[in-house]
Each structure stands twice: as C-alpha cells, then as structure tokens.
Amino acid sequence: MTGAPRLDLVRGDITAIAVDAIVTAANSALVGGGGVDAAVHAAAGPRLLAALRPLAPCPPGGAVVTPAFDLDPPVRHVVHAVGPRHGIDEPAAELLHGAYVESLRRCDEVGARSVAFPSISTGVYRYPLAAAAAVSVAALRTATTRVTRCVLVAFDERTHRAWADALG
C-alpha cells in the first residue's frame, strides 16, 4: 500500500520513540554533532559513526540510512537527514522538503513502516520554526511511500506548537 502516512505529534526525546526507524538531523559530513544528532549517536553507540564513514558526504536535502546498533528494539534503522543551513543552503524550502522526502525513501528501501522525525534544521541550522513546520507537514502529507506512520517528535513546547499549528 502506498500513499501518505498518518502523522502523529508528540513531545519528547526521539531516542525513546517505539518505531522502526528514527531520523536524526545530521550534517553533510555525517560526523555527528550536537542537538538531536548527539542524542542519537549516544544512544546508538560508536558503531553509528563508523557506519557513516563510507556514506559521507550527504548533500543538504539528502538522507542516508544505517542500522540502529545499540538503540532499543523496535528501532532497527537510523535515517541521517541533512537539512539546509538557513541563509547558506538554497533553495532552502526545497532542500528541507527533500530531507523529509528522502528520509521516507530510505525507509522504503529498508522496509521501515513507521518513522520518527525531529524538527530538521530548526536548531543549530536556524531555519525559522513556523516555516519549517509548514514545509515538513506539506512534504509528509504529499509523499507517496509505504511508510504508514510518521511521528513528529517535538523536543520543546515552541516546536510542538509550531507543528500543531501546521497540522491545523
């Protein structure tokens, strides 16, 4: 069955969400970093970084997939999505849209049917929150994928509110 996935919005830590795949907000070099990337690498363990080495670089708007290593079941995959750096990578909206759509493509490639997304690019990469929420919801609502459930994981209240507004 392909079509647009169901979207659920939750507050919390993405490393605690029970889905087949979790998405981290990575950089093009795929070398880990702060924010959600730090939390995912800490939970998945050092094999995650080693698995990324042959996959780098990943351009903004792209995504790669690795095993989830030390993350608890049912999580089997980590999708490393590279969002645009606001004011640097252009066209920003298209690249952010691409990061979400490419993440779903990687999920389809590995047979993941449920996936959790952080708010890509709205932290260190300073993408304006309301605009990013609109882009991400539009991307996920119009995607054709075998993923049936996307969990939007808001780490803080302002992100939760922005996504709630975008979901209408």
Q: Which of 69, 98, 103, 125 binds ligand APR (CB under 6 A)?
A: 125
State the DSSP H helix or E strand holding residue 7, giving kind and residue range, or none if neither: strand 6-11
72 is catalytic: no
Residues 105-124 that bind ligand APR (CB under 6 A): 118-124
Question: What are the C-alpha distances in Å from 112 to residues 19, 94, 115?
Answer: 8, 24, 7
Quote the least distance from Cβ 154 to ligand APR, whole Å: 7
Interatomic CA distance for residues 130 and 69, integer angstroms: 33
Residue 34 lies near ligand APR (rule: CB under 6 A): yes
Take residue 29 and report the two structure tokens written for it: 């070099």
Residue 67 lies near ligand APR (rule: CB under 6 A): no
Q: Which of 89, 139, 91 is nearest to 115 (CA)?
A: 139
Take residue 151 and report the two structure tokens written for it: 């969990």
Quote the least distance from Cβ 1 to ligand APR, whole Å: 28
Q: Which of 4, 10, 13, 105 binds ligand APR (CB under 6 A)?
A: 13
**Between 90 and 156, whose beta carbon lies closer to ligand APR?**
156
Residue 60 lies near ligand APR (rule: CB under 6 A): no
Question: What are the C-alpha distances in Å from 121 to residues 11, 36, 85, 104, 145?
Answer: 18, 11, 7, 17, 22
**Between 1 and 53, whose beta carbon lies closer to ligand APR?**
53
Residues within the interface to ligand APR (CB under 6 A): 13-15, 25-27, 32-37, 39, 83, 118-125, 153, 155-156, 159
